[in-house]
Amino acid sequence: MNELIKHKSWWQRNWKWLVPLTVLIAAIVVALSSSRIGEDTAQIAKAYTDVLLYENAFKLAKENEEVKELLGELKPMDKMTILEGSVKYSNEGNSVVTKVRVKGSEGKGMLDIFANKKGSDWKYEKISIRAREPKQTIINIL
């Protein structure tokens, strides 16, 4: 009854889950590095930190009479709104095209912003609101 119990090595006990996990992680790294997901994430993060771009455009839209007639009184934007929208920076981060949703007391829409950075301030080229119900677009809220 004095038999020696031979234990399996760590590799022998765990290779069945370690090999597939390693392959999966490698596939994810390759997929992320070869796709635009990383670039898009960086642009969204940049937009998330550039609050003045959205605040000033939202303020102009909120004060516009046509927007009030179309969507009613606009409700404040939250931080998640920026993450849910789309953004595209160009010209070394000095130009931006972005779209975020807005909610009003009488409807919903999209706020489209086209802007260029001058120093530390954004100069808006075009701000527009698009509504689904009724299908209508208000261009150049400026």
- Asked whether residue 89 is assigned to any structural domain, the reply reads yes
What are 35-52's pLDDT values in tens digits? 666 666 777 777 777 778
Decide if 6 is inside a domain: no
The closest alpha carbon to 47, from 116, 93, 91, 92, belongs to 93
Task: Give me the residue label for tokens 């299908």.
Answer: 135
Torsions phi, psi of 88, nearest 5? Answer: -140, 110
Q: Domain residues for 134?
A: 37-138
Query: Is this prediction's pTM over 0.75?
Result: no
3-state secondary structure of 108: strand
DSSP conformational letter for 65:
H
pLDDT digits (tens, 9 = 90+) for 118-132: 888 889 999 998 887
Residue 87 placed within a domain: yes
